[in-house]
Amino acid sequence: MNRKENEENKGKRGKIERFVLPGDLLGVIEEFVPGDNCYVEDGKIYSNIAGYLLVDKAKHRANIIPGNPRQKLPKVGDKVAGIITSTMRDSATIEFSMVNEENIGLPFTGLVHVSQISKKFVEDVFAAMRRGDIIRARIIDVKFLPFQLATNEGDLGVIRAHCTKCGEPLVKMERDLLECPACGLKEKRKLAKDYIQPRFSTKDKHHN
């Protein structure tokens, strides 16, 4: 899958129904609005490519996500790693293609609700995760896209982060506290126990 296809699949919501081939009947226009990679003929909606049928029942829309039948689909219990693409006070959205340390190729979207971030109470997502962070999470529900994720285990959470002020890689100081070696800004995250420390910091270079 190329970059254009990756961008088109971001933010899609709905239920993955099944794998389809070009020309497969998806439904009729009375049921669905034809979305990406679909076409209409005599009032019937068909797939234009091979991929997965994604049905957004709220919008009555059918989309086809490019893929192949040999491609592994994420399942409940899988560990995934990806980048946070957006955050709200009560949730963070993650794009991932790494599942159980294997690149499955097809990018998926996941969502971590604030209640699933930690076993401790987290009032606001911004106190635990930020856009651009790399995180590891576990899938807890795959019925609909975005998949529901959780980071409330010791080896789950942010594994790499950058300063929100200057962009320098953040250094872990203590359990969930990070510090920027360039500007000194301190930031909190829900960290995985194996958070990746930068190989060197601006502070270290300055002292040398």
pLDDT by residue (tens digit) across 161-171? Answer: 999 999 999 99
Q: Do the strands 33-34 and 61-66 form a parallel or antiparallel pair, or are they unpaired?
A: parallel
pLDDT in tens, 133-168: 999 999 999 988 899 999 999 999 999 999 999 999
pLDDT lower than 70: segments of the chain: 1-12, 200-208
Which CATH number do you get for residue 172?
A: 2.40.50.140
Half-sphere exposure of 8 (CA within 13 A, CB side): 13
User: Is 183 inside any structural domain?
Assistant: yes
Residue 162 tokens read as: 């950058």
User: Is 26 inside any structural domain?
Assistant: yes
The Cα 155–Cα 149 span in angstroms is: 14
Shared-domain flag, residues 88 and 60: no
Q: What per-residue confidence (pLDDT) applies to 8? A: 46
Write out the residue range of the structural domain in which residue 144 sits: 72-199
Q: What per-residue confidence (pLDDT) applies to 200? A: 60
The Cα 29–Cα 132 span in angstroms is: 39
Shared-domain flag, residues 113 and 50: no
User: Is 89 inside any structural domain?
Assistant: yes
Q: What per-residue confidence (pLDDT) applies to 12? A: 60
Shared-domain flag, residues 24 and 120: no
3-state secondary structure 149-161: EECCCCCCEEEEC
